[in-house]
A and B are shown apart, each in its own frame.
Chain A
Amino acid sequence: MLDFPRWKILSIAIGLALLVSLSIPSFVPKSVRETWPSWMPRPAVNLGLDLAGGSYLLLEAQTADVAKAKLNQMEEQVRAEMRRDPRIEIGDVSVQGGKLTFMVRDSAKVDAVRERLLAITGSGVGTTGQREWDVAVVDSSRFVLTPTDAGLQQSIDTAMNDAREVVDKRINGLGTLEPTVVREGGNRIVVQVPGLDDPTALKKLLGQTAQLEFRLVDTTADPQQVAQGIAPAGSVLMPYADGGGMIAVQRQVMITGGMLVNATQTYDPQSGAPGVTLQLDGAGSKRFAKVTQENSGKPFAIIVDNKVISAPRINEPILGGSAVINGGFTVQSANELAIALRSGKLPIALKVVQESTVSPELGADSIRAGITASIIAVVAVIAFMILTYGRFGLYATFAVVINVLVILGVMGLLNATLTLPGIAGFVLTIGTAVDANVLINERIREERRRGRSVMQAVELGYKEASRTIFEANVTHAIAGFIMLALGSGPVRGFAVVLLIGIATSVFTAVVFTRMLVTIWLRRNRPAEINI
């Protein structure tokens, strides 16, 4: 018991001092922290949205759309591949029930078709090398292409990663917000924006796919037929974004969003109305110049997400590769469209499935209440411990205070987020942290009652209690890990604090107090202890 070597004492003191110092950044404002020299610890505990105020959105993607898009894309690829020289005639192409089927007109060419399909159905997925598509031939001339699960999974994965990036870009486009955008599970994205208390604009922005298209307006269309919903051959009907009826546009797409380099909100030099200026890339510019040259005097439609924003007339060929969209925008809506176009098209539509917004005032109230409650809890527990165990209780309270600071420090280091349930976890940790010392001290009392000497009683108390503390904390940690694995939101915030607390409290309660007790015993060698 008394053999607590100096190096051990030193290393415990230094280790704890370092861990405690990690908590310092959490107590100073960010502006001060940023002026610190680089060797000082900087990571601080993040405040959750329930404490800082802000918006939380859970977005969900319709993964079925990815499968559909994959099939449509493959259909295009197959058609293009078969048109190549020597052309192979195919027919009866259909995309249905998650399959792409087509017929080869000349059944002698089945092998040639198979050869060409092999080239476009991919070399395999990832490291496992599973095929992306299953290719089968039925009735000796009909091909059936089915995406494999691995192939679909890969497409969904790619789409989700791209979507996450697009969402990130869009929110950052809104300005000074500090969002976190993370993928969750197979088809979800969590967006947290501290400080944002009206997420309406954000949701509108994220709700846009931002698929941009320029198409020529079909001027031959009969207005009466259009009104009846009948599109002329080679054209499709599309609605105006402002709800002003339908318009017939050509099937063929002149310019797509993929040819866009930049989009900015600008004002029309003549009318001063807000609009969006688009900048096209090289290929897009060339294409745009050619089409506008050939179709001077005719209108073309600017389409976003299958809605026609405006259909201006081509007055002169547009050669510079930049185009302006005007069409009843406000500055805000023009800005939103510019951000959406700039950040690219969402590869997959996202829907808000869960949302919560906390006003900054409520957040501030909560954190004030949480801190007040924590301080009162600590003071009450300290008073109770000292009243009950005297000097040993005092040591236990040192351990508890250090424990609280170490938890904060570790949370800062891990960049963990403190939420309201996290504060509750904190308060509870304070309660349970003293349990270890209660166990030890009760054991020492017990051993003293049995007539053991002070030294023996203390030694046995720590030894016997340590085992129990270990058992109890392992089981407690099991519950914590399950919460972390299965929980979401508040449950998780709570579990993080709980788990860190379990680890640190065992150390501070068992090792640190033992050190203090040892030092005291060695100095004073008391024959009787008040416990």
Chain B
Amino acid sequence: MRLLKIIPDNTNIGFVRVRHIAFAITALLTVAALVLTVVRGLNLGVDFVGGVSIEEKFTTAPPLDEVRALVNGLGLGEAALQQLGGPNTITIRLPPPESSDPAAVDAMVEKVKAALAAKFPGASFSNYSTVSGKVSGELVQNGILAVLLAIIGIAIFSWFRYEWQFGVSTAVAIIHDVLMTIGFFALTQLVFDLNIVAAVLTIIGYSINDKMVIDDRIRENMRKFRKMGMRELIDLSVNETLPRTVMTSLTIMLALASLLIWGGHVLRGFASAMMLGIVVGTYSSVYVSSSLLITLGLKPGFREAKADASNAERVAPRDLP
């Protein structure tokens, strides 16, 4: 049986050569994502803004305008409607009630449920959640803190394990990945909630995995080919690991695609965030983080003495591909 080879052997793509163009594109896209996030804002779920979210299932696709008019007519504040998982399910989001009395939320939910059931027979609610403003503030804080700490922790780890340049380039690439993902949510206006924070953290984890594999190869080659210029060395390392990078991205994409298609509407936002993150993370591994090492002035033979002592057997020359 002839086996599948997605990436041919011995590729020799000049990734480093185009780094200035890649940097420019990356910077442009990142700025665009940032601007988009600031201008359009994120469609934050009740996890983050507080309020009430009611998911209602109708027997047939309901006219959105009528539902909106009906809910707005209840005097509970401006309702935000969103279709989820097919035309029959609608999520209605309302601002938190002005009174802090817990009964106020119940009254609100009851009112909406009753009004909808009266107008659209057969409609049934399938879930609802409420978050107070205070808790949502904490959730936002913790979410941001988690992402920042993850980036810092990982940067410190790769700084200790390798050179500081690896830490910096990895951190930069990850910040890029995170901003791009957030920009994607600003663009599509998909609901940004706690699940998405989990997705962003996972993207960081994956992206890191990707970069570590390439960084590890760069370090290995730096010991092996001491005379080689940094550009050739990085190109060689990225090319050597390219089949793995592409294979792994593809398998994860396969898994995520099945989640997106068959995983139900609750996971849709999560799966799409992850898929975008994989694309962005792979791009930044190949084009951004490794090329950035040159800009940061990484030179071969940095820790030569140490490498000699601990990895003497690995220094044996191998043929160039």
Docked-complex contact A390 and B55, CB < 8 angstroms: no
Q: Within 8 Å of chain A (Cβ to Cβ): is B295?
A: no
Docked-complex contact B244 and A384, CB < 8 angstroms: no
In the complex, chain B residues 96-141 whose Cβ is within 8 Å of any chain A Cβ: 100, 102-103, 105-106, 124-132, 134-135, 139
Docked-complex contact A438 and B201, CB < 8 angstroms: no
Q: Within 8 Å of chain B (Cβ to Cβ): is A52?
A: no
Q: Within 8 Å of chain A (Cβ to Cβ): is B43?
A: no
Chain A nearest CB from B185 CB (Å) reads 16
Docked-complex contact A450 and B127, CB < 8 angstroms: no
Contact with A381, one of B130, B220, B255 (Cβ below 8 angstroms): B255
Q: Within 8 Å of chain A (Cβ to Cβ): is B197?
A: yes
Q: Within 8 Å of chain B (Cβ to Cβ): is A203?
A: yes
Docked-complex contact A486 and B252, CB < 8 angstroms: no
Q: Within 8 Å of chain B (Cβ to Cβ): is A468?
A: yes
Docked-complex contact B208 and A475, CB < 8 angstroms: yes
Contact with B202, one of A390, A420, A428, A489 (Cβ below 8 angstroms): A428
Chain A nearest CB from B101 CB (Å) reads 9
Q: How far is the CA of A430 from the CA of B202 in the complex (A)?
A: 14
Contact with B131, one of A354, A423, A446, A498 (Cβ below 8 angstroms): A354
Given A373-B262, A380-B254: A359 and B126 interface contact (C-beta under 8 Å): yes
Report A's interface with B, CB cutoff 8 A.
Answer: 50, 58, 60, 200, 203, 207, 351-359, 361-362, 365-366, 368-370, 372-374, 376-377, 380-381, 384-385, 387-390, 420-421, 423-425, 427-428, 430-432, 434-435, 438-439, 442, 445-446, 449-451, 464, 467-468, 471-476, 478-480, 482-483, 486-491, 494-495, 498, 530-531
- In the complex, given contacts A475-B212, A487-B201, what are 14 additional A-B residue pairs having Cβ atoms less than 8 angstroms apart? A353-B131, A356-B128, A370-B264, A373-B259, A380-B255, A388-B4, A435-B209, A435-B251, A439-B213, A475-B154, A479-B205, A483-B201, A486-B145, A490-B195
Q: How far is the CA of A474 from the CA of B154 in the complex (A)?
A: 9
Interface 9-mer from B19-27, B30-38, B61-69, B265-273: B265-273
Report B's interface with A, CB cutoff 8 A.
Answer: 1, 3-6, 9-10, 55, 100, 102-103, 105-106, 124-132, 134-135, 139, 142-143, 145-146, 149-150, 153-154, 157-158, 161, 194-195, 197-199, 201-202, 204-206, 208-209, 212-213, 216-217, 220, 240-241, 243-244, 247-248, 250-252, 254-259, 261-264, 266-267, 270-271, 274, 318-319, 321
Given A431-B255, A449-B10, A471-B212: A483 and B266 interface contact (C-beta under 8 Å): no
Given A356-B129, A359-B126: A482 and B150 interface contact (C-beta under 8 Å): yes
Q: Which residues of B contact A387 (CB under 8 A)?
A: 3-4
Docked-complex contact B146 and A491, CB < 8 angstroms: yes
**A-B contacts at CB below 8 angstroms, number:** 242
| A-B pairs with beta carbons under 8 Å apart, 8 shown | A366-B266, A370-B267, A377-B258, A431-B254, A450-B321, A478-B153, A482-B149, A487-B201
Docked-complex contact A488 and B264, CB < 8 angstroms: no
Residue of A with least CB distance to B134: A353
Docked-complex contact B9 and A355, CB < 8 angstroms: no
Q: Which residues of A contact B106 (CB under 8 A)?
A: 200, 203
Q: Which 8 A-B pairs have the closest CB atoms?
A: A369-B264, A356-B129, A431-B252, A479-B205, A377-B255, A373-B263, A431-B255, A362-B126
Docked-complex contact B251 and A434, CB < 8 angstroms: yes
Q: Which residues of B contact A487 (CB under 8 A)?
A: 142, 146, 194, 197-198, 201
Docked-complex contact A359 and B271, CB < 8 angstroms: no
Docked-complex contact A479 and B255, CB < 8 angstroms: no
Docked-complex contact A420 and B153, CB < 8 angstroms: no
Given A387-B4, A424-B259, A472-B212: A356 and B154 interface contact (C-beta under 8 Å): no
Q: How far is the CA of A438 from the CA of B262 in the complex (A)?
A: 26
Chain A nearest CB from B105 CB (Å) reads 7
Q: Which residues of B contact A464 (CB under 8 A)?
A: 220
Contact with B256, one of A428, A446, A478, A498 (Cβ below 8 angstroms): A428
Residue of A with least CB distance to B102: A352
Q: Which residues of A contact B271 (CB under 8 A)?
A: 424
Which of A58, A389, A421, A498: most chain B Cβ within 10 A? Answer: A421
Contact with A476, one of B124, B131, B205 (Cβ below 8 angstroms): B205
Docked-complex contact B213 and A479, CB < 8 angstroms: no
Chain B nearest CB from A346 CB (Å) reads 14
Docked-complex contact B146 and A362, CB < 8 angstroms: no
Q: How far is the CA of A471 from the CA of B194 in the complex (A)?
A: 28
Docked-complex contact B55 and A362, CB < 8 angstroms: yes
Q: Which residues of B contact A377 (CB under 8 A)?
A: 254-255, 258-259
Chain A nearest CB from B134 CB (Å) reads 6
Q: Which residues of A contact B254 (CB under 8 A)?
A: 377, 380-381, 384, 431
Q: Which residues of B contact A482 (CB under 8 A)?
A: 146, 149-150, 153, 201
Docked-complex contact A369 and B263, CB < 8 angstroms: yes
Residue of A with least CB distance to B3: A390
Contact with B157, one of A203, A425, A430, A475 (Cβ below 8 angstroms): A475
Q: Which residues of B contact A372 (CB under 8 A)?
A: 262-263
Docked-complex contact B243 and A356, CB < 8 angstroms: no
Given A442-B243, A478-B157, A488-B142: A373 and B258 interface contact (C-beta under 8 Å): yes
Contact with A475, one of B55, B135, B158, B252 (Cβ below 8 angstroms): B158
Contact with B102, one of A351, A491, A494 (Cβ below 8 angstroms): A351
Chain A nearest CB from B143 CB (Å) reads 8
Q: How far is the CA of A480 from the CA of B262 in the complex (A)?
A: 26
